[in-house]
Amino acid sequence: MVVTETWYLVLSAGLFSIGLVGLLVRRNPLVMFMSIELMLNAVNISFVAFANALDDIVGLTAVFFVLVVAAAEVVVGLSIVVAVMRRRPALTADDLSSLKG
Amino acid sequence: MVDVIVFVVAGAIVLGGALGVVLNRNPVRGALSLIASLFGVAVLFVLQEAHFLALVQVVVYAGAIVVLFLFVIMLLGVDRSEDLSVEPLAGQRLAGVAMGVAMFTMALLGLFLSGRGGDEGAVALTGTRSVTQPLDETQPDIDQLAVDLFGRNVLAFQATALLLTIATVGAVVLVRNRGAEDLVIDEPGRAAS
């Protein structure tokens, strides 16, 4: 039995689905952010699997960029969460509705 | 055979950590589960000979991003456990889980029902081998990654550098102290004055 790239892709799909459920069900903004990180990691796994299977270095470059963009996104997102939650400490995602029409 | 064992163990850690993030009521425990999951992903990278990316994954993701999460959780005091049994919309949790299952099924269907068929029974989507930048097995992966990153993708590289600068400036601007108006604590649900 050899570990083919299909195994990695199935694992990536499972991890993405778990992250998706976490994003949809949880209301704490920080846990929602962590679920987004899970989804980004799932995509990274599938990128590396494809880089190995298709013999292309671009997969690894894409992972590098995804990592950088994820870091930038977490920085900005958490600073927004901090800025909002300083005023309202017991916040959930449902309460962030001041832009509601 | 060793590959299979390492894959199964690392995969179990990845999925178990992910479930820990989603199911834990306490966000601090969720962050620690996320660290476990990220280490599992790093092991999977090493298994596929992407050693540099495994290093970057551990240093950046587990070592900086999750630490930032923990800082914010501690700063804001949101480590109080969230009540998972209350759902504001009726049937939201069921719909969320159904959506997750549907996503997984869709991904599996896309993976196994497409492709040319032939190699090992299940062929991944769009599987033509690269002719422009083939992976050279003799060179270390970091050398090839550097050649690609600073060669063909140098514009994207500079753009990400710009993105990081913008993110840093934005973070500093967003959380700076503006004086007395920050001392007002509003009740949740009431509009901020």
Instruction: Using the predicted structure, report yes or no on whether residue A16 has a pLDDT greater than 70.
Output: yes
Average the pLDDT over B67-78 and give the result. Answer: 85
Instruction: Using the predicted structure, report yes or no on whether residue B138 has a pLDDT greater than 60.
Output: yes
Query: Which structure tokens are listed for B111?
Result: 């993976």
SS3 annotation, chain B: CHHHHHHHHHHHHHHHHHHHHHHCCCHHHHHHHHHHHHHHHHHHHHHCCCHHHHHHHHHHHHHHHHHHHHHHHHHHCCCCCCCCCCCCCCCHHHHHHHHHHHHHHHHHHHHHCCCCCCHHHCCCCCCCCCCCCECCCCCCHHHHHHHHHHCCCHHHHHHHHHHHHHHHHHHHHHCCCCCHHHHCCCCCCCCCC
Confidence at residue A22, expressed as pLDDT on a 0 to 100 scale: 93
The answer to whether ipTM exceeds 0.85 is: yes
Query: Which structure tokens are listed for B95?
Result: 């719909």
Q: How far is CA A40 from CA A44, B27, B82, B188, in A?
A: 6, 19, 24, 31
Q: Which residue has the higher pLDDT, A67 or A87?
A: A67
Q: Compare CB distances from B188 to A10, A14, A88 and report the shortest one's residue.
A: A88
Do the chains contact at A91 and B186, CB–CB below 8 Å?
A: no
The alpha-carbon gap from A75 to the nearest alpha carbon of chain B, in Å, equals 7
Query: What confidence category does residue B189 fall into, taking pLDDT thresholds of 50, 70 and 90?
Result: low
List, in sequence order, the alpha helices (H) in A1-101. 5-25, 29-53, 58-85
Query: Which structure tokens are listed for A79?
Result: 């600073």
Q: Which residue has the higher pLDDT, B11 or B85?
A: B11
What residues pair up with A56 in beta bridges, in sequence order? B134
Do the chains contact at B97 and A70, CB–CB below 8 Å?
A: no
Interface of B with A in 4-33 (CB under 8 A): 4, 7, 11, 14-15, 18-19, 21-22, 27, 30-31
Confidence at residue B35, expressed as pLDDT on a 0 to 100 scale: 96
A47 shares contact with chain B (CB less than 8 Å): no
The proportion of chain B whose per-residue pLDDT surpasses 70, expressed as a percent, equals: 74
pLDDT in tens, B15-31: 999 999 999 988 999 99
Instruction: Using the predicted structure, report yes or no on whether residue B133 has a pLDDT greater than 60.
Output: no
What residues pair up with A86 in beta bridges, in sequence order? none
Average the pLDDT over B152-177 and give the result. Answer: 92
Query: Which structure tokens are listed for A43?
Result: 């995509």
Q: Which among B23, B26, B72 is the top mutation candidate for probing chain A, defined by the most A β-carbons within 10 Å of its own β-carbon?
A: B72
Among B9-23, B59-73, B104-118, B129-143, where is mean pLDDT lowest?
Answer: B129-143
Do the chains contact at B60 and A71, CB–CB below 8 Å?
A: yes
Query: What confidence category does residue B121 fall into, taking pLDDT thresholds of 50, 70 and 90?
Result: very low
Q: Highest-confidence range of A5-9, A62-66, B120-124, by mean pLDDT?
A: A62-66
Confidence at residue B183, expressed as pLDDT on a 0 to 100 scale: 55
Pair B73, A30: CB distance under 8 Å: yes
Q: Compare CB distances from B148 to A19, A49, A57 and report the shortest one's residue.
A: A57
Instruction: Using the predicted structure, report yes or no on whether residue B192 has a pLDDT greater than 70.
Output: no
Instruction: Using the predicted structure, report yes or no on whether residue B116 has a pLDDT greater than 70.
Output: no
Confidence at residue B193, expressed as pLDDT on a 0 to 100 scale: 47
Query: What confidence category does residue B159 fall into, taking pLDDT thresholds of 50, 70 and 90?
Result: very high
Q: Which residue has the higher pLDDT, B141 or B130?
A: B141
Q: Which residue has the higher pLDDT, B82 or B98?
A: B98
Instruction: Answer positive or negative: Cα dihedral of A43, A46, A52, A53.
Output: negative
From CA B117, how far away is CA B150, in angstroms rounded?
Answer: 36
Q: Compare CB distances from B182 to A8, A33, A86 and report the shortest one's residue.
A: A86
Q: Which residue has the higher pLDDT, B77 or B70?
A: B70
Q: Compare CB distances from A71 to B31, B64, B153 and report the shortest one's residue.
A: B64
Query: What confidence category does residue A33 fall into, taking pLDDT thresholds of 50, 70 and 90?
Result: very high
From CA A8, how far away is CA B119, in angstroms rounded?
Answer: 16
The alpha-carbon gap from A99 to the nearest alpha carbon of chain B, in Å, equals 11
Average the pLDDT over A48-54 and give the result. Answer: 87
The pTM of this model reads 0.85
Q: How many CB atoms lie within 10 A of CB B53?
A: 27
From CA B106, how far away is CA A14, in angstroms rounded?
Answer: 11
Confidence at residue A41, expressed as pLDDT on a 0 to 100 scale: 96
Q: Which residue has the higher pLDDT, B188 or B6?
A: B6
B90 shares contact with chain A (CB less than 8 Å): no
Residue of B47, B78, B45 whose CA lies nearest to B62: B45
